[in-house]
Amino acid sequence: MKITDLVVTPIAFRDPPLLNSVGAHEPLALRIIFQVHVEGGIVGAGECNANIPLEAIQAVREGIIGMSVTGTKAIEQRVDHILRQAAPALSQSQRLWVFSPIEVACLDALGKILNLPVSDLLGGAVRQRVEFSAYLFYKWEGHTGQEPDRWGPALDPAGIVRQAQQFVSEFGFKTIKLKGGVFPPAEESAAIRALAAALPGYPLRIDPNGAWTIATAKQVVADLHGVIEYFEDPVLTIDGMSQVSAETPIPLATNMCVVETAHIGEAFEKDAVQVVLSDHHIWGGLRRTRELAAICEALGWGVSMHSNSHLGISLAAMIHLAATIPNLDYACDTHYPWNYEDDIIRGGPMVFTEGTLPVPNGPGLGVDIDPDKLAEAHERYIEFGRTTRDDSGYRRTREPHYDPTLPRF
Ligand code: GKR
Ligand code: MG
């Protein structure tokens, strides 16, 4: 079960002009696909964002060749050791970002060898379907110079309600999250109220990604009391979250101020958050994220799941992980509805039913890379000529004085 090679392929796929607290999504989103080759011709896959320089990732290749896919802890230590030398600017967390897709690819390969799904390698699924939320965004009607996309514009409460209705009717979602931090909070609160009126009974969340001051956040949480399931990162720091949290019984959730184990103690002591959005890409792989869920259970924190623009390899890993976390109390986030058309998995994109996806039941992740689609997505990346995401720069192409400094409101 020895690793014989690691092949890393950066890719690009279409992404609508979604607005957030630091800008707008560009026409193409970037990801990196990892393929771990194992003796006997087995190949496992992993996926991560493109925030880490490719050279740093390439540096680990030789060091993990010859290691066993069963020893993911030893691989984690080796990756950490290599990156400390080869990419000293990377933080410990960033070194875990590199390890995560390698771990997923190793577990995919191991599952294929043992003919077991990845969820079995994580302790076994406690649910056969995983629930996701509708991830709404304010958005332009289309990218500059392109036709309007099929979602149309969403720049006011009516546009957000229209988008929610599209998501509910196409994918069956039962929980709704609005990415905020784009417009003044009164306008975003109006959008939340419009959603509550149009889709009564649907749990609603808002995530301004730290765009609000502490004073503003206190006002908004008071204003939306009884309407919101949880507020996600209303403000930026653990201290700020703690001050807001003290004023409301509604849970505060985060994928911004508790993003590594070192943050947990302080956040708990200060009662800054009540829900953590887990993310195996950030927390160092599937097994470490299960450990996070166990810590959350011990602390009395809820567990949800964070997402970024992604494709099906990441989604399959998210589903396997989510299926094995008994205390996953909330519907998971996913950007997949915005991006699935360019997915690189064989047999077409995954299809939601009633807002849920089944745990893939094939061996490993249960999804395979389509080599032609991978090549096409890589070609797109090369043509794009960019290696990192620049939401603020893209927003400035329409609003030249746009300033991404937070908090904004
Ligand atoms: O895709 O614009 C976006 C999101 O804002 C993403 O970058 C965040 O990481 O979805 C994420 C979140 O929940 O904060
Ligand atoms: Mg968030």
pLDDT in tens, the chain (409 residues): 999 999 999 999 999 999 999 999 999 999 999 999 999 999 999 999 999 999 999 999 999 999 999 999 999 999 999 999 999 999 999 999 999 999 999 999 999 999 999 999 999 999 999 999 999 999 999 999 999 999 999 999 999 999 999 999 999 999 999 999 999 999 999 999 999 999 999 999 999 999 999 999 999 999 999 999 999 999 999 999 999 999 999 999 999 999 999 999 999 999 999 999 999 999 999 999 999 999 999 999 999 999 999 999 999 999 999 999 999 999 999 999 999 999 999 999 999 999 999 999 899 999 999 999 999 999 999 999 999 999 999 999 999 999 999 999 9
Residue 346 falls within a domain, yes or no? yes
CA–centroid distance, residue 109 to ligand 2 (Å):
31
Tell me, what's the pLDDT at 35? Answer: 98
Tell me, what's the pLDDT at 112? Answer: 98
Q: Note whether 135 and 97 are same-domain residues.
A: no
Q: Note whether 112 and 125 are same-domain residues.
A: no
Q: Note whether 149 and 108 are same-domain residues.
A: no
Q: Note whether 58 and 143 are same-domain residues.
A: no
Query: Which among 308, 335, 388 is the best mutation to test ligand 1's pocket, defined by most ligand atoms within 8 Å of the CB?
Result: 308
Tell me, what's the pLDDT at 57? Answer: 94
Q: Note whether 76 and 136 are same-domain residues.
A: no
Query: Which among 179, 205, 235, 339 is the best mutation to test ligand 1's pocket, defined by most ligand atoms within 8 Å of the CB?
Result: 179
CA atoms 281, 284, 289, 295: torsion sign? negative
Determine the atom of ligand 1 nearest the C-alpha atom of 233.
Answer: 14
Q: Note whether 149 and 298 are same-domain residues.
A: yes
Of all ligands present, the nearest one to the C-alpha of 135 is 1
Nearby residues for ligand 2 (ion, Cβ within 5 Å):
207, 232, 255
Of all ligands present, the nearest one to the C-alpha of 275 is 2
Q: For atom 13 of ligand 1, which residue has the closest CA?
A: 306
Structurally, how many domains does the chain consist of? 2
Residue 405 falls within a domain, yes or no? no
The finding on whether 334 has its CB within 6 A of some atom of ligand 1 is no
Tell me, what's the pLDDT at 12? Answer: 98
**179 a catalytic residue:** yes
The finding on whether 308 has its CB within 6 A of some atom of ligand 1 is yes
HSE of 190, CA atoms in CB hemisphere, 13 A? 10
CA–centroid distance, residue 210 to ligand 2 (Å):
9
The finding on whether 255 has its CB within 6 A of some atom of ligand 1 is yes
Residue 147 falls within a domain, yes or no? yes
| Structural contact between residues 302 and 281, judged by C-beta atoms closer than 8 angstroms | no
Q: Note whether 242 and 294 are same-domain residues.
A: yes
Tell me, what's the pLDDT at 118? Answer: 98
Residue 54 falls within a domain, yes or no? yes
The finding on whether 179 has its CB within 6 A of some atom of ligand 1 is yes
Tell me, what's the pLDDT at 296? Answer: 98
CA-closest candidate to residue 369, choices 390, 345, 340, 337: 345
Q: How far apart are CA 376 and CA 351, in angstroms?
A: 22
Tell me, what's the pLDDT at 80? Answer: 98
Q: Note whether 86 and 26 are same-domain residues.
A: yes
| Structural contact between residues 333 and 232, judged by C-beta atoms closer than 8 angstroms | no
The finding on whether 248 has its CB within 6 A of some atom of ligand 1 is no
Residue 409 falls within a domain, yes or no? no
Residue 348 falls within a domain, yes or no? yes
Residue 391 falls within a domain, yes or no? no
Q: Note whether 130 and 108 are same-domain residues.
A: no
Q: Note whether 82 and 142 are same-domain residues.
A: no
CATH number of domain containing 379? 3.30.390.10
The finding on whether 209 has its CB within 6 A of some atom of ligand 1 is yes
Q: For atom 6 of ligand 1, which residue has the closest CA?
A: 308
CATH number of domain containing 150? 3.20.20.120
Q: How far apart are CA 220 and CA 224, in angstroms?
A: 6
Exposed / middle / buried, residue 201 (Cβ in 10 Å: 0-12, 13-18, 19+): exposed
Tell me, what's the pLDDT at 394? Answer: 98
Q: Note whether 277 and 130 are same-domain residues.
A: yes
Tell me, what's the pLDDT at 337? Answer: 98
What's the residue count for the chain?
409
38, 76, 106, 140 from 82: Cα distances, Å: 21, 10, 18, 43
Q: Note whether 162 and 56 are same-domain residues.
A: no
Tell me, what's the pLDDT at 182? Answer: 98
Residue 402 falls within a domain, yes or no? no
Q: pTM for the complete prediction?
A: 0.98
Q: Domain span at residue 110?
A: 2-119+370-383
Q: For atom 5 of ligand 1, which residue has the closest CA?
A: 20
Of all ligands present, the nearest one to the C-alpha of 137 is 1
